[in-house]
Chains A and B, each alone.
Chain A
Amino acid sequence: MTGKASPSAGALAPGDLWRVAVVGLRTRKLRAGLSALGIAIGVAAIVAVLGLSSSSEAGLLAEINRLGTNLLTVTNGESLFGQPAELPVAAPGMIGRIGPVTEVQYTGAVGNVNVYRSPLVPSIDTNALSVAASSLALPSDVGTSLASGRYLNPATATEPVAVLGAAAAQRLGIDRVFPGERIWLGNMWFYVTGILNPAPLTPEIDSSVLVGFPAAETYLGFDGHPSEIYVRAATSEVDAVDAVLGATANPEAPNQVNVSQPSSALVAEADAQAALNGLFLGLGGVALLVGAVGVANIMVISVLERRSEIGLRRALGATKSHIRTQFLAEAVLLSLLGGATGVVLGTVSTAVYASTKRWTIVVPPLAWGGGLGAALVIGAVAGLLPALRAARLSPTEALWSI
């Protein structure tokens, strides 16, 4: 045998590495589970925060898409002297003649008129409701519909008849329409014929009580000038229409007209929601850090407790590198286990919450990929020191110092 070449040791096969890495987890299930839980909570928090914000953003964008991004609103601005300017009575007609404009509806704010449930309500309790005269196809134009009853028509527009915006109905305490139902509007009774659903693109309509233009002129002393014009244009031409709307609505004083695109405000709102996520992501990060300390702790204890196993493995021929790899793999595995659990938990909570809100369930790859990646890195970092200590242990110390 003398003169035989020195035997050489190679790395363990992946299957064998797996088998030695799960030894600690199999024999100390409860403890492994608890320390993986720390990682799981952190990753779940991060995945849920990112998932929920993506889902809510997706929900909002879907809502915006449903409502359409091609709605433009024209409102009266201010004159040179800070007085509210008036839009010409002919403005809706003129806007309607712009080529890509598909629909024009408008309202006119009726000033100095308040609305009450009955004349017995103290006049100070105005509920912050406004009264507006409305054209006859307003709901479909602004992307809402009737919750109950019907909208104004050419006949009812001339009579003391009102339709309530969603918030207005709520504040007046009216949730359904029945014959003869009336409200006290401008010192006379108006009959309620309909209640609108919320109009997310045009929240000002929600808190309005809408009457017909002729009725407003007849009963409320309205001057007939529109104050808000809701314009639908071909989606591809929205910018072009936007550019000419001011001049078309009020050719004499284009600078006294405000033109806006309500959907862009909602998009900005979606972005603003995402900004709040930083805080929750930070909390998730803290949970992850605590989890990492837990993993490091269990690995240190594990190495102390498993001296004889380490000694035995050295006696069976394990190199320092085998021992180091084993404990490192165990820490990474533990952490990945927690990470995977966290991704599942985070995804499930996102799915549950999103489905109650009827949002599309979106868990961005950044969330679950990042969660697993963070778990991997944490496992490697937390396991490194214990693994080095285990490898440094001399076989004789490990075997005979029990």
Chain B
Amino acid sequence: MSATVATPVLEVQSVTKTYPSEPPVEALRGVSFVVGEGELVAIVGPSGSGKTTLLHLMGTLDRPTTGSVRVTGLDVADMSDRELSALRATRIGFVFQQFFLAEHERALDNVADGLLYAGVALAERRDAAAAALTRVGLGHRGSARPTQLSGGERQRVAIARALVGRPAIVLADEPTGNLDSANSQAILSLLEELHDGGATIVVITHERAIADRLPRQVQVLDGRVVEDRSSAGGPPAGAAGPVRGAPAPPRGADGDRGDAVTG
């Protein structure tokens, strides 16, 4: 593994994934990259490029055919289904294109459910949920039902749910896919803000424009990483795999990452 300065949160190493259909589908053909703590990374590629499969593997929802995936240093291959569930409960947050909010529950409880399986008591879950809602700018909407919220607000609730347990990494799957452009911009700004606050976020998208807005882009095509670059010009913080250029620059406090955001 390459020398890294930031602590690696997610390490994907020589990962392949073959679906045993007839004929077998090779969704990933040797993917490697590292996401360091506090990074905001876009994984971009057209549909069929393997990025959804990559999301499954990063999110420990599926296991690679070969290669290894490590989340916060824990190798997925060594863990039972039960342990992986606990890993997801405590260290990985998901944001989905379809939001997946429970419509009969108010926003606060939807967010609190992010901690349901982490063994946290209800009162604490609600406290954390209120804090998370405030972080995404919806502190005043906690008692609203998802049906009373706009699409952008729903996605904010979903993001709050992903953040509520302060996971090591947040995986956002096409988070703006169901939103109009204004709301998409707002969600991206929110992700940037959260990133500035120290959160590690991976955004999976097929939209080049969205990817270009984020500090680092990992481009996937036909099951391979074809490009991994930082918009700031330097190489990615925790890059393994096809690294270009010099070793990663030291990362300071979270606050001084603002310059990395280039339109």
Taking Cβ atoms with an 8 Å cutoff, the residues of A that contact B are: 1-4, 6-10, 12-13, 15-16, 20, 23, 26-27, 308-309, 311-322, 394-396, 399-400, 402
Q: How close is B61's CB to chain A, nearest CB, in angstroms?
A: 4
Q: Given A1, A314, A317, which contacts B72 in the complex, CB threshold below 8 Å?
A: A1
- Residues from chain A with a CB closer than 8 A to the CB of B85 are 9, 314, 317-320, 322
- Residues from chain B with a CB closer than 8 A to the CB of A13 are 121-122
- Residues from chain B with a CB closer than 8 A to the CB of A317 are 85-90, 116-118
A1-B168, A15-B122 as given contacts; A396 in contact with B86, CB under 8 Å: no
Q: Determine the residue in chain B with the shortest Cβ distance to A395.
A: B61
Contact A399 B96 (CB under 8 A): yes
- Separation of A256 and B62 alpha carbons in the complex (Å): 94
- Residues from chain A with a CB closer than 8 A to the CB of B104 are 23, 26-27
Taking Cβ atoms with an 8 Å cutoff, the residues of B that contact A are: 7, 9, 52, 56, 59, 61-62, 70, 72-74, 79, 81-83, 85-91, 94, 96, 98, 100, 102-104, 113-114, 116-119, 121-122, 161, 168
Q: Which of A20, A308, A316, A317 has the most CB of B within 10 A?
A: A317
A316-B117, A317-B118 as given contacts; A399 in contact with B61, CB under 8 Å: yes
Q: Given B52, B56, B83, which contacts A7 in the complex, CB threshold below 8 Å?
A: B83
Contact B83 A316 (CB under 8 A): no
Contact A320 B90 (CB under 8 A): no
List 18 extra interface pairs beyond A317-B86, A320-B81, CB under 8 A. A1-B72, A1-B73, A2-B70, A3-B73, A9-B86, A13-B121, A23-B102, A27-B104, A312-B94, A315-B61, A316-B94, A316-B113, A319-B81, A319-B82, A319-B117, A320-B82, A322-B85, A399-B96
Contact B116 A6 (CB under 8 A): no
- Separation of A308 and B102 alpha carbons in the complex (Å): 11
- Separation of A2 and B7 alpha carbons in the complex (Å): 9
Can you name 17 A-B residue pairings with CB atoms under 8 Å? A3-B73, A6-B86, A9-B117, A10-B119, A16-B116, A20-B116, A27-B104, A314-B85, A316-B88, A316-B116, A317-B90, A318-B116, A318-B117, A319-B82, A320-B85, A321-B82, A399-B96
- Separation of A15 and B98 alpha carbons in the complex (Å): 28
Q: Determine the residue in chain A with the shortest Cβ distance to B71.
A: A1
- Residues from chain B with a CB closer than 8 A to the CB of A309 are 100, 102
- Residues from chain B with a CB closer than 8 A to the CB of A3 are 73
Contact B89 A316 (CB under 8 A): yes
Q: How close is B163's CB to chain A, nearest CB, in angstroms?
A: 13
Contact B62 A313 (CB under 8 A): no
Q: How close is A400's CB to chain B, nearest CB, in angstroms?
A: 7
- Separation of A103 and B254 alpha carbons in the complex (Å): 107
Q: How many A-B residue pairs have CB under 8 A?
A: 107
Contact B73 A4 (CB under 8 A): yes
- Separation of A319 and B91 alpha carbons in the complex (Å): 15
Q: Given A1, A15, A308, A399, which contacts B9 in the complex, CB threshold below 8 Å?
A: A1
Q: Determine the residue in chain A with the shortest Cβ distance to B91.
A: A7
Contact A314 B61 (CB under 8 A): yes
Q: How close is B234's CB to chain A, nearest CB, in angstroms?
A: 24
- Residues from chain B with a CB closer than 8 A to the CB of A12 are 116-117
- Residues from chain B with a CB closer than 8 A to the CB of A15 are 122
- Residues from chain A with a CB closer than 8 A to the CB of B79 are 6
Contact A6 B74 (CB under 8 A): yes
- Residues from chain B with a CB closer than 8 A to the CB of A4 are 72-74
Q: Given B59, B87, B118, B119, which contacts A6 in the complex, CB threshold below 8 Å?
A: B87
Q: Determine the residue in chain A with the shortest Cβ distance to B70.
A: A2
Contact A396 B114 (CB under 8 A): no
- Residues from chain B with a CB closer than 8 A to the CB of A399 are 61, 96
Q: Which of A309, A316, A395 has the most CB of B within 10 A?
A: A316
Q: Which of B59, B70, B85 has the most CB of A within 10 A?
A: B85
- Residues from chain A with a CB closer than 8 A to the CB of B82 are 8-9, 319-321
3 closest A-B pairs (Cβ-Cβ)? Answer: A317-B89, A2-B73, A317-B117
Q: Given A1, A16, A313, A318, which contacts B122 in the complex, CB threshold below 8 Å?
A: A16
Contact A7 B89 (CB under 8 A): yes
- Separation of A15 and B100 alpha carbons in the complex (Å): 23
Q: Which of B61, B74, B87, B94 has the most CB of A within 10 A?
A: B61
Q: How close is A141's CB to chain B, nearest CB, in angstroms?
A: 71
Q: How close is A399's CB to chain B, nearest CB, in angstroms?
A: 7
- Residues from chain A with a CB closer than 8 A to the CB of B113 are 316
- Residues from chain A with a CB closer than 8 A to the CB of B119 are 9-10
- Separation of A394 and B63 alpha carbons in the complex (Å): 11
Q: Determine the residue in chain B with the shortest Cβ distance to A398.
A: B61
Contact A322 B121 (CB under 8 A): no
Contact A396 B61 (CB under 8 A): yes
Contact A8 B103 (CB under 8 A): no
Contact A2 B72 (CB under 8 A): yes
Contact A396 B83 (CB under 8 A): no
- Separation of A315 and B162 alpha carbons in the complex (Å): 10
- Separation of A368 and B59 alpha carbons in the complex (Å): 49
Q: How close is A386's CB to chain B, nearest CB, in angstroms?
A: 20
A9-B82, A9-B119, A13-B121 as given contacts; A315 in contact with B73, CB under 8 Å: no
Q: Given B52, B62, B161, which contacts A394 in the complex, CB threshold below 8 Å?
A: B62
- Residues from chain A with a CB closer than 8 A to the CB of B89 are 7, 9, 316-318
- Separation of A8 and B82 alpha carbons in the complex (Å): 7
Q: Determine the residue in chain A with the shortest Cβ distance to B74.
A: A6
Contact A1 B7 (CB under 8 A): yes
- Residues from chain A with a CB closer than 8 A to the CB of B61 are 314-315, 394-396, 399
- Residues from chain B with a CB closer than 8 A to the CB of A8 are 82-83, 86
- Separation of A309 and B121 alpha carbons in the complex (Å): 22
- Separation of A309 and B99 alpha carbons in the complex (Å): 11
- Separation of A309 and B98 alpha carbons in the complex (Å): 11
- Residues from chain A with a CB closer than 8 A to the CB of B7 are 1
